[in-house]
């Protein structure tokens, strides 16, 4: 395991911490994992950060507190000592030790319901793991089905498009209606902004509308900051220092005209990085503001009058009538592929049942 640190000059350095210093945690030595040790481990976790113990750990902690109450002072003292000693170590070593310790206790005091992996060995294809695997795959597959269903009305190959597919009817109205500067957007386009925050940000009209909303809420500087960061990330390398400087003056400096609200830790880290600006120096701050907008302003925008009015005004284009020039109209049947020869004669190219997807065939087209 290597730990990668991105130091200030943007160059990344690797540190290889020493894994051999703690035979205590090696499974092979099979030290008996005593109650005392577990109590010390939990106490350490508790002291380090309040509320870091999860449910079953809290229960164990309380149970141990009752059971070995007579040595509790010793437990707490040991915990404090170990914490103090670990602070002396290098950060990398400390992380490694903490990981090893956590893994050790996960095996020796597993959370209720997990298998004893070390004990059972490779033959452990029990029903339990199979059910867990299936459950995980279930939720993953669900998400794909949901995504495909959500985007199906937007997929012209699956479901056609209104007013008509320009490739088929030679009518470019679709592209005109979806251009960046159109006055009234289509309903599908406005609906798509509600699928995810990135969908809203990827559409220039969506960004404009969102900015109008944020201006009403006096938080427009967030979106402006995000856009400025994007410009730094994707712009010319030579212009990065001056762009970063602009961003600092406008958004990050104390008393800046469009100061953005970032937490002190991120702000400190960013300001440190600004001393040697590189392409990704604003990433942390940008991510912070991105999630701020995503969790707060974006859901409220979707519920706002501004968005709802736009959605109500948005148009659903009329399907263009098929071409009326008889001499141009040619019934086209695609030559059946040898691979699907058994299905010839089943349909004439037009979707018969409502489940069939392709409904645009049979219109005039030029090859």
Partner 1 sequence: MGEMEQLRKEAESLKDDITAARKAVQDLTLQDHVAGTAVVGRVQLKTRKTLRGHLAKIYAMHWGTDSKLCVSASQDGKLIVWDSYTTNKVHAIPLKSSWVMTCSYAPSGNMVACGGLDNMCSIYNLKGKDGNVKVMRELAAHTGYLSCCRFLNDNEIITSSGDCTCVLWDIETGSQKTVFAGHLGDCMSLGVAPDFNTFISGACDFTAKLWDIRDGQCRQTFGGHESDINAIGFFPNGNAVITGSDDASCKLYDLRSDQELITYQDSSIMCGVTSIAPSLSGRLILAGYDDFNCNIWDSLKAERVGVLSGHDNRVSCIGVTPDGMACCTGSWDSFLKIWN
Q: Check binding of 181 to partner 1 (CB under 8 A).
A: no
Q: In the Cβ-directed half-sphere of 148, how many Cα atoms lie within 13 Å?
A: 7
What is the spatial distance between Cα 365 and Cα 331, in angstroms, rounded to a whole number? 9
12, β-bridge pairs: 6
Q: CB under 8 A: which stretch of 53-61, 309-317, 323-331, 347-355 binds partner 1?
A: 347-355
Q: Check binding of 323 to partner 1 (CB under 8 A).
A: no
Q: Which of 3, 86, 98, 156 binds partner 1 (CB under 8 A)?
A: 156
> Does an H or E element contain 100, and which?
helix 91-108
- The burial class, CB within 10 Å (0-12 / 13-18 / 19+), for 151 is middle
Between residues 169 and 222, which has the closer beta carbon with respect to partner 1? 169
Between residues 181 and 257, which has the closer beta carbon with respect to partner 1? 181
Residue written as token pair 């037009």: 350
Q: Check binding of 50 to partner 1 (CB under 8 A).
A: no
What is the spatial distance between Cα 299 and Cα 84, in angstroms, rounded to a whole number? 44
Q: Check binding of 183 to partner 1 (CB under 8 A).
A: no
Number of residues that bind partner 1 (CB under 8 A): 63
Q: What are phi and psi of 201, to 5 degrees?
A: -70, -25
From the CB of 321, what's the least distance to partner 1, in Å?
Answer: 20
Q: Check binding of 249 to partner 1 (CB under 8 A).
A: no
Q: Check binding of 337 to partner 1 (CB under 8 A).
A: yes
From the CB of 237, what's the least distance to partner 1, in Å?
Answer: 5
Dmax of the chain from CA atoms? 100
Q: Check binding of 355 to partner 1 (CB under 8 A).
A: yes
CB 117 within 8 A of CB 107: yes
> Does an H or E element contain 12, and which?
strand 12-15
CB 80 within 8 A of CB 1: no
Contacts of residue 143, defined as CB under 8 A and 6 or more positions apart, other chains included, come to: none
Q: CB under 8 A: which stretch of 20-28, 89-97, 292-300, 349-357 binds partner 1?
A: 349-357
Q: CB under 8 A: which stretch of 82-90, 94-102, 116-124, 164-172 binds partner 1?
A: 164-172
Site for partner 1, rule CB under 8 A: 4, 6, 12, 125, 130, 133-134, 136-138, 140-145, 147-152, 154-158, 161, 165-168, 172, 174-175, 178, 198, 234-238, 280, 283, 332, 334-335, 337, 339-340, 343, 347, 349, 351, 353, 355-358, 361, 365-367
């Amino acid at each position: 395991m290597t730990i990668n640190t991105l130091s200030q000059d943007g160059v990344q350095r690797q540190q290889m911490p020493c894994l051999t210093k703690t035979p205590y945690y090696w499974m092979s030595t099979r030290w008996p994992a005593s109650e005392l040790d577990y109590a010390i481990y939990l106490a350490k976790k508790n002291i380090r950060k309040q509320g870091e113990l999860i449910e079953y750990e809290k229960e164990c902690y309380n149970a141990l507190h009752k059971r070995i109450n007579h040595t509790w002072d010793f437990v707490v003292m040991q915990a404090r000592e170990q914490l103090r000693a670990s602070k002396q170590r290098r950060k990398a070593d400390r992380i490694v030790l903490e990981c090893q310790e956590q893994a050790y206790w996960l095996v020796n005091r597993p959370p209720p319901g997990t298998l004893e992996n070390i004990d059972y060995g490779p033959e452990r294809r029990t029903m339990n793991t199979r059910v867990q695997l299936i459950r995980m795959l279930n939720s993953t597959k669900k998400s794909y089905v949901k995504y495909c269903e959500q985007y199906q009305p937007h997929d012209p190959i699956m479901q056609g498009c209104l007013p008509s597919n320009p490739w088929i009817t030679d009518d470019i109205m679709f592209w005109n209606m979806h251009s960046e500067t159109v006055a009234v957007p289509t309903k599908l386009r406005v609906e798509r902004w509600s699928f995810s925050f990135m969908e809203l940000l990827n559409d220039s009209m969506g960004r404009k509308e969102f900015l109008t909303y944020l201006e009403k809420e006096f938080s427009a500087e967030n979106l402006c900051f995000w856009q400025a960061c994007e410009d730094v990330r994707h712009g010319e390398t030579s212009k990065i220092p001056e762009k970063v400087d602009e961003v600092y003056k406008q958004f990050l400096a104390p008393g800046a005209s469009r100061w953005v609200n970032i937490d002190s830790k991120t702000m400190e880290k960013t300001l440190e990085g600004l001393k040697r600006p590189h392409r990704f120096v604003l990433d942390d701050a940008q991510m912070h503001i991105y999630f701020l907008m995503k969790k707060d302003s974006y859901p409220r925008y979707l519920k706002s009058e501004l968005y709802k009015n736009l959605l109500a005004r948005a148009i659903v284009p009329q399907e263009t009538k098929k071409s009326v020039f008889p001499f141009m109209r040619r019934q086209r049947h695609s030559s059946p592929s040898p691979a699907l020869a058994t299905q010839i004669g089943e349909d004439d190219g037009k979707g018969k049942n409502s489940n069939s997807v392709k409904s645009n065939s049979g219109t005039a087209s030029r090859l």
